[in-house]
């Protein structure tokens, strides 16, 4: 894709309309990919794509520097997406941003859980969305733009306003995390094809607009835009704290693949508000979002922000919403320790540093991207021989004789294929390089290379050199180089094993092995089969001794993916948790649990400078130990450009669990987090999963948290899609599974859907609905929707990929329903039906409350859209609310024996005996209701927030609408209770307190895109879409 933006823009401004069509064709896929990633609705993304180009058509004459077109386009797209999300508070849930590593252990665990009837292809396609969800948002954005948007590295760099090296790093990280599944994901994304008529549709809409100013008169509009920008700057003050809000905006999506340091100094949002003391509602102006400044503004991006309504008058405001940004530090991409004690580190943003043996100062050497190698998707590897430093970047090997300051290209492999280097080992006789698919050796110090595929039965995947003796792992075999051939070495066990990690010192060779084709997954998961060993050799592989630690991971159980690091007498085995030996494996110290040691997995770098100083580029960031692995600290490597971001917060709850004062708990992405300093720093709360478990499950993905009269609770699920319940410990540090809670999962349902889809006549005596209901629970309407989906698929109305997407979306919505706790009673919406479980009972009790209206957005003729739908942009009218309310959850609140449920069909149900009997209070409400926003208890009263206003009742019999001093009914998007006082927030006019039954305004202006509200005395907390959690202290 030729970078001819400037020429096309000049032609268009000169009156050449086809030039604009070419711009549309060039950028419509990237724009759509970006919108789809942010909105998670394929067709809404097409609408936003169209709106983006219409705005570009109208404003292109204001672009001062056409070289900034792609960044300018990104700003407009991002702002339109933010506007859509802001106006659709209950938009379709996006892919989770879980930071879970797909290890082989996960694959084995999933294999056990999956039904053997599912085909491999079916399983792969169904997990694509989950796999993408495992990526950090920044990685997912780049991966989507690359495959769906068909953009090259440099184009993504210009589009996002991020350096090429950073884009390469993010792609490399994404592909490394999902290396085994990358092909599947690429193929799946290629099925997402935008409408072939999108360009024509855009140009038809363009034709309805007034002509853009001709190219021979561009000075006036540019002058006006520049004058406007200057005027705004004068109004705001020239300081960077205001102007930098219009920086290149990728900080909106900063997600860390690096380690994170939370900054101590608070950041004051440029959103200052005046406290309201009068009862009347003032003319409140909704304030747009703003970003924390980090760079000087770009004039064209400022103009884009102005175009989208981002410029606000912030004069004469006195109080402040306060939030805290986090600084993003560089991680370690590759590590090399030399015999002299120097440490070379290639960071995740592509910079090479050296730490001399004094261990005091990191010295920046070079930006590796300056070599011009496109090393995205591959992990660079460093090595040193004699006085020459070597680095392999994808298909090129470079050498430096001045400690990395200058580099010479030594060898280049063909470019027709992808190269993923995994090892670079240098010896006096031979150099070795291992790629993902091939291995090579060189006898002339890297100038020429020989393919080693004919030297082993299987491709070698790991090399190590000890005393100039080279060892190689290849398939089910471990080999030693003897003169001019490879000699296979045998371990002292009869089982066939793979070597998964190798480490060595001057006198010792260590290997980790795992059971090969003889593994029985069921026996291993039951703790009945040994699956891994650690062996040590002191005679270069002639004899081996089993030194497997018995006090860490279960030797009988699914094997851990251990990384070995050795120096002197110190030997460290690291995975999720770690264990250390200071006598070469003769004895092992007590293990460090996962919450107190870096998490390592295959491919992450780790080196020992000596037997006390160890560095690792772990999943948790760049970390160092100075006491032989007993304790670990973050490494603050100097980085060239500091990035900032926010902790994404939803559902903040103020609760005192440890007796030390109020703590704010919240759901952040798929975890529970807490803060004791108003968001300055956050701590993740996890379940304690012992290293000794035969199946070490991943941390649960938290989907909901709630407060009860006896504690805080969370609902989550794992990769197995099994719903689980947790209580947060009294000290607020741990997720504790609720013992003996009945299981709810979708395994049987998915198996039946798979059978019906492939063989609709498999159950001739039963209807589709009856088959689906056999081993599953939920609303009848839920099974009707799935049965209809199968019928439409059988009739060939859409592809298998589309069927799976709609199916997964419906099942996911079913499992992510509402959740509430009262005493020992748990209420859970599952598959669009309400269930109750009381501690001590064996099963979930069916309360009989379920959805009866349609659960999927369909076309006028009743057929399915080819992809899951989400709410349209803009403020919804009555008809739209009725259509899209089905995408909401139940609104649920429980207190004592009383429970209220607001359903998608607009009905309000209540039970006063723990959900056994129900009363329909819909007709008793003071106004007709289309959709419910929230339900809470305060004292003895219940408050129900709806699209028509807030209704309250003491007993459920008599209801009244809450009004302000002017007797206006206010619509509240979110409610909160503090010491039995009710608070509400509306984006239209601020935060209110209910005083003597009347709404009284407390804060007149609020940040936009609020997703939740919490109150603690005079402090208000809000979770926001793009700025994390903000707080406001009322004077």
The pLDDT, as a whole number, for residue 950 is 97
Q: With the CA atoms of 584, 586, 590 and 594 taken in that order, what torsion angle do they form, in degrees rounded to the nearest 10?
A: 50
pTM of the model: 0.65
DSSP label at residue 428: S
Alpha-carbon gap, residue 296 to 294, rounded angstroms: 7
> What is the rounded distance in angstroms from the CA atom of residue 735 to the CA atom of residue 729?
6
Whether residue 470 is contained in a domain is answered as no
pLDDT given at position 335: 94
Q: Each residue of 211-232: pLDDT tens digit?
A: 444 333 333 333 333 343 333 3
Closest CA to 641 of 351, 263, 361, 264: 351
Rounded CA separation 833/837 (Å): 13
Q: Which domain range does residue 176 map to?
A: 5-217
Burial class (CB in 10 A: 0-12, 13-18, 19+), 371: middle
Q: CB–CB of 805/868 below 8 Å?
A: yes
Q: How far apart are CA 242 and CA 233, in angstroms?
A: 8
Q: What is the pLDDT, as a whole number, of residue 660?
A: 67
Please name the residue that has the structure tokens 């030594």: 410
Which pLDDT score, from 0 to 100, does residue 613 have?
93
Q: What is the rounded distance in angstroms from the CA atom of residue 367 to the CA atom of residue 358?
A: 23
Q: Per-residue pLDDT for 334 more than 60? A: yes
List for the chain the helix, strand, coil content (%; round to 5).
25, 30, 45
Q: Does 373 or 123 have the greater pLDDT score?
A: 373
CA 815 to CA 46: how far, in whole Å?
28
pLDDT computed for residue 90 by the predictor: 37
Report whether pLDDT(971) > 90. yes
Cα–Cα separations (whole angstroms), residue 623 to 382, 602, 606, 779, 940: 19, 17, 10, 50, 52
The per-residue pLDDT for range 930-957, each reduced to its tens digit, is: 999 999 999 989 999 999 999 999 988 8
The span from the CA of 37 to the CA of 32, in Å, is 8
Q: Which of 693, 722, 737 is the last residue of a domain?
A: 737
- The pLDDT assigned to 536 comes to 97
Q: Percent of the chain at pLDDT above 90? A: 41
Cα–Cα distances (Å) from 391 to 384, 418, 446, 462, 893, in that order, read 9, 17, 11, 17, 60
pLDDT tens digits, one per residue of 607-649:
999 999 999 999 888 999 999 999 999 988 766 665 556 778 8
Reported as a single tens digit per residue, the pLDDT across 398-427 is: 999 999 999 999 999 887 677 788 899 999
At 108, is the pLDDT very low, low, confident or very high (cuts 50, 70, 90)? very low
Highest mean pLDDT among 24-28, 82-86, 745-749, 945-949: 945-949
pLDDT score for 704: 94
Position 720 confidence tier, pLDDT thresholds 50, 70, 90: low
Amino acid 46: pLDDT: 82
Best CA proximity match to 650, nearest among 982, 895, 1009: 1009
Q: Per-residue confidence at 161, pLDDT binned at 50, 70, 90?
A: low
The structural domain count of the chain equals 2
Please list, in sequence order, all residues whose beta carbon lies within 8 angstroms of the beta carbon of residue 879, skipping any fewer than 6 positions away. none
Per-residue CA distances from 91 to 32, 592, 1025 (Å): 18, 42, 12
CA dist 670 and 97 (Å) reads: 7
Residue 658 has a pLDDT of 59
Nearest residue to 307 via CA among 83, 88, 89: 83
Which range (140-149, 323-332, 522-531, 992-1001) has the least confidence? 140-149
Examine the pLDDT at 155 and tell me if it is beyond 90.
Answer: no
Give the alpha-carbon dihedral of 581, 582, 585, 587, to 10 degrees.
-80
pLDDT grade, residue 175 (50/70/90)? low
Q: Token pair for residue 377?
A: 């998707």
Q: How far apart are alpha carbons 42 and 92 in whole angstroms? A: 11
CB 345, CB 335: distance < 8 Å: yes
pLDDT at 283 over 50: no
pLDDT at 299 over 60: no
Closest alpha carbon to 552 in 656, 692, 700, 708:
692
Could you list the beta-strand ranges (E) of 25-97.
none
pLDDT surpassing 60 at residue 33:
yes
Taking 80 as the threshold, does the pLDDT of residue 304 lie above it?
Answer: no
Distance of CA 650 to the CA centre of its chain: 14
Distance CA 543, CA 560 (A): 24
Average pLDDT, the chain: 79
| CA 112 centroid distance within chain | 26
d(CA 286, CA 1018): 22
Count CB atoms within 10 A of the CB of residue 546: 13
pLDDT at 803: 82
Residue 854 lies in a domain: no
Q: What pLDDT is attached to residue 826?
A: 97
Helices (H), 134-289: 137-147, 153-160, 164-177, 182-190, 198-207, 219-236, 240-243
Q: At what angle do helices 299-307 and 219-236 cross, to 10 degrees?
A: 90
pLDDT tier for residue 543 given thresholds of 50, 70 and 90: very high
Task: Please answer whether residues 617 and 637 qualify as being in contact, where contact means their C-beta atoms are separated by less than 8 angstroms.
Answer: no
Indicate the range of 109-123, 145-159, 187-201, 575-589 predicted with least confidence: 109-123
Between 180 and 427, where is the model more confident?
Answer: 427
pLDDT of residue 179: 53
Token pair belonging to 793 = 């698929």
Radius of gyration of the chain from Cα atoms?
Answer: 30
Measured CA to CA, the distance from residue 147 to residue 918 in angstroms comes to 51
Residue 35 within any structural domain of the chain: yes
In Å, how far are 89, 672, 699, 921 from 1010, measured between CA atoms?
8, 19, 28, 29
Give a yes or no: residue 178 inside a domain: yes
Domain end, chosen from 691, 711, 737, is at 737
Mean pLDDT (whole number) for 529-557: 94
Query: From its phi and psi, is residue 161 left (phi > 0), alpha (psi between -120 and 50) or beta?
Result: left
In this prediction, residue 833 carries a pLDDT of: 97
In a domain, 595, yes or no: no
Question: Where is the domain boundary, 737, 755, 778?
Answer: 737
Q: What is the pLDDT of residue 135?
A: 66
Give every CB contact of residue 1001 below 8 A, 6+ residues apart in sequence.
Answer: 276, 278, 279, 281, 282, 964, 989, 990, 991, 992
Residue 684's SS3 state is: strand
Q: Is residue 73 part of a domain?
A: yes
Work out the angle between the directed axes of helices 69-87 and 299-307 (0-180°, nearest 10): 30
The answer to whether 495 and 505 are in contact (CB under 8 A) is no
Q: Is there a contact between 305 and 79 (Cβ–Cβ < 8 Å)?
A: yes
Contact at 8 Å (CB) between 918 and 849?
A: yes
Calculate mean pLDDT across residues 588-600.
89
Give the pair of three-digit tokens for residue 361: 């100062």
Cα–Cα nearest to 266, from 673, 681, 609, 726 = 681
Please check whether residue 82 is in contact with residue 1009, taking contact to mean a CB–CB distance below 8 angstroms.
yes
What pLDDT, on a 0 to 100 scale, did the predictor assign at position 540?
A: 94
Residue 871 lies in a domain: no
Q: Which two tokens stand for residue 54?
A: 């219409």
* Contact criterion met (CB below 8 Å) for 335 and 360: no
Confidence at residue 240, expressed as pLDDT on a 0 to 100 scale: 35
How far apart (Å, rounded) are the C-alpha atoms in residues 797 and 794?
8
Q: Is residue 546 part of a domain?
A: no
At 131 the three-state DSSP class reads: helix
Record the tokens describing residue 602, joined without a space.
């295959």
Tell me the mean pLDDT in the region 279-294: 28
* Rounded distance between C-alpha atoms, residue 129 and residue 107, angstroms: 16
| 742 vs 303, higher pLDDT | 742
CA 754 to chain centre: 28
Residue listed under structure tokens 């099942």: 811
Is beta strand 439-442 parallel, antiparallel or unpaired with respect to 431-435? antiparallel
Does the pLDDT at position 485 exceed 60?
yes
State how beta strands 963-964 and 998-1003 pair: parallel
What pLDDT score does 201 carry? 76
For the beta carbon of residue 204, count every other beta carbon within 10 angstroms: 11
**Is the per-residue pLDDT at 822 higher than 80?**
yes
DSSP designation for 731? T
CA atoms within 13 A on the CB side of 849: 31
Query: What's residue 12's pLDDT?
Result: 86
């Amino acid at each position: 894709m030729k970078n001819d933006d400037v020429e096309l823009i000049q032609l268009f401004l000169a009156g050449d309309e086809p030039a604009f069509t070419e711009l549309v064709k060039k950028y419509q896929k990237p724009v759509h990919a970006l919108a789809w990633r942010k909105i998670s609705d394929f067709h809404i993304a097409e609408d936003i794509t169209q709106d983006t180009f219409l705005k570009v058509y109208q404003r292109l004459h204001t672009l001062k520097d056409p070289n900034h077109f792609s960044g300018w386009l990104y700003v407009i797209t991002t702002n339109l997406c933010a506007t859509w999300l802001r106006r659709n508070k209950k938009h379709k849930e996006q892919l989770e941003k879980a930071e879970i590593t797909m290890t082989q252990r996960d694959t084995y665990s999933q294999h056990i859980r999956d039904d053997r009837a599912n085909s491999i292809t079916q399983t792969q396609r169904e997990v694509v969305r989950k796999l993408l969800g495992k990526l950090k948002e920044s990685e997912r954005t780049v991966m989507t733009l690359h495959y769906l948007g068909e953009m090259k590295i440099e184009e993504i760099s210009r589009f996002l306003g991020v350096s090429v090296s950073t884009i390469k790093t993010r792609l490399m990280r994404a592909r490394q995390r999902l290396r085994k599944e990358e092909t599947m994901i690429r193929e799946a994304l290629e099925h997402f094809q935008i409408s072939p008529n999108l360009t024509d549709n855009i140009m038809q809409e363009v034709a309805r607009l007034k002509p853009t100013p001709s190219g021979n008169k561009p000075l006036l509009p540019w002058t006006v835009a520049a004058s406007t920008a200057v005027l705004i700057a004068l109004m705001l003050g020239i300081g960077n704290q205001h102007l930098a809000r219009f920086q290149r905006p990728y900080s909106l999506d900063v997600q860390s693949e690096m380690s994170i340091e939370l900054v101590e100094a608070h950041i004051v949002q440029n959103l200052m508000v005046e406290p309201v003391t009068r009862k009347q509602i003032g003319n409140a102006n909704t304030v747009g979002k703003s970003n924390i400044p980090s760079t000087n503004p770009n004039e064209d991006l400022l103009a884009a922000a102005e175009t989208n309504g981002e410029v606000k008058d912030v004069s004469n405001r006195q109080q402040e919403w306060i939030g805290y940004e986090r600084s993003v530090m560089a991680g370690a991409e590759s590590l090399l320790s030399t015999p002299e004690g120097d440490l070379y580190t290639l960071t995740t943003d592509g910079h090479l540093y050296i730490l001399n043996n004094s261990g005091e100062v990191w010295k920046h050497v070079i930006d590796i991207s300056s070599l011009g190698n496109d090393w995205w998707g591959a992990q660079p590897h460093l090595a040193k021989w004699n006085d020459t430093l070597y680095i392999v970047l994808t298909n090129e090997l470079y050498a430096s004789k001045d400690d990395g300051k200058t580099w010479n290209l030594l060898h280049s492999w063909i470019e027709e294929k992808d190269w993923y280097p995994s090892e670079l080992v240098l010896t006096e006789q031979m150099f070795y390089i291992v790629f993902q698919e091939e291995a090579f050796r060189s006898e002339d110090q890297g100038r020429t290379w020989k393919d080693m595929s004919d030297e082993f039965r299987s491709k070698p995947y790991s090399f190590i050199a000890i005393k100039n003796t080279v060892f190689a792992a290849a398939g089910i075999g471990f080999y030693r180089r003897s003169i001019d051939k490879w000699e296979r070495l045998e371990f002292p066990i009869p089982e066939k094993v793979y070597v998964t990690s190798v480490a060595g010192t001057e006198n010792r060779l260590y290997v980790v092995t795992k059971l090969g084709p003889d593994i029985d997954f069921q026996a291993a998961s039951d703790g009945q089969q040994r699956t891994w060993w650690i062996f040590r050799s002191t005679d270069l592989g002639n004899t081996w001794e089993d030194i497997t630690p018995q006090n860490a991971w279960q030797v009988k159980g699914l094997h851990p993916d251990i990384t070995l690091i050795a120096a002197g007498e110190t030997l460290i085995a690291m995975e999720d948790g770690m264990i250390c030996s200071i006598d070469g494996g003769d004895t092992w110290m007590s293990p460090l649990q996962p919450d107190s040691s870096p998490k390592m997995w295959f491919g992450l770098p780790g080196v020992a400078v000596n037997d006390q100083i160890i560095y690792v580029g772990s999943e948790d960031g760049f970390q160092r130990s100075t006491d032989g692995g007993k304790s670990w600290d973050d490494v603050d490597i100097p980085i060239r450009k500091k990035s900032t971001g926010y902790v994404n917060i939803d559902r903040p709850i103020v609760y005192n669990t440890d007796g030390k004062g109020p703590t704010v708990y919240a759901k952040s992405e798929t975890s529970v987090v807490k803060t004791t300093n108003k968001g300055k720093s956050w701590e993740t709360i996890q379940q304690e999963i012992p290293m000794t478990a035969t199946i070490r499950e991943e941390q649960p993905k938290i989907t909901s948290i709630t407060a009860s009269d006896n504690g805080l609770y969370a609902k989550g699920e794992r990769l197995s899609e099994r719903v689980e319940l947790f209580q947060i410990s009294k000290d607020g540090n741990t997720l504790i599974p609720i013992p003996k809670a009945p299981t709810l999962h979708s395994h049987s349902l998915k198996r039946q859907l798979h059978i019906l889809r492939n063989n609709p006549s498999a159950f001739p005596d039963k209807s589709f609905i009856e088959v689906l209901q056999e081993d599953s629970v939920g609303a009848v309407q839920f099974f009707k929707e799935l049965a209809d989906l199968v019928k439409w698929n059988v009739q060939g109305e859409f592809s298998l990929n589309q069927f799976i997407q709609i199916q997964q979306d419906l099942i996911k919505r079913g499992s992510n329903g509402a959740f509430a706790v009262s005493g020992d009673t748990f209420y859970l919406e599952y598959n669009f039906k309400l269930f109750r479980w009381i501690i001590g009972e064996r099963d979930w009790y069916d309360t009989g409350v379920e959805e009866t209206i349609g659960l999927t957005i369909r076309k006028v003729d009743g057929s399915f859209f080819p992809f899951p739908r989400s709410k349209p942009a803009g403020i919804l009218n009555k008809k739209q609310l009725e259509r899209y309310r089905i995408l909401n959850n139940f609104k649920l609140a429980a207190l004592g024996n009383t429970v209220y449920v607001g359903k998608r069909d607009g009905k309000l149900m209540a039970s006063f005996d723990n959900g056994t009997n129900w009363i329909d209070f819909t007709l008793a409400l003071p106004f007709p209701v289309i959709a419910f926003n929230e339900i809470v208890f305060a004292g003895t009263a219940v408050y129900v927030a709806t699209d028509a206003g807030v209704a309250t009742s003491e007993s459920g019999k008599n209801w009244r609408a809450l009004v302000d001093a002017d007797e206006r009914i206010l619509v509240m998007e979110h409610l909160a209770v503090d010491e039995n006082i009710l608070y509400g927030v509306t984006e239209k006019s601020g935060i209110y307190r209910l005083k003597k039954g009347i709404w009284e305004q407390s804060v007149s202006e609020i940040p936009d895109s609020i997703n939740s509200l919490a109150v603690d005395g005079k402090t208000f907390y809000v979770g926001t879409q793009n700025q994390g959690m903000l707080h406001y202290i009322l004077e």
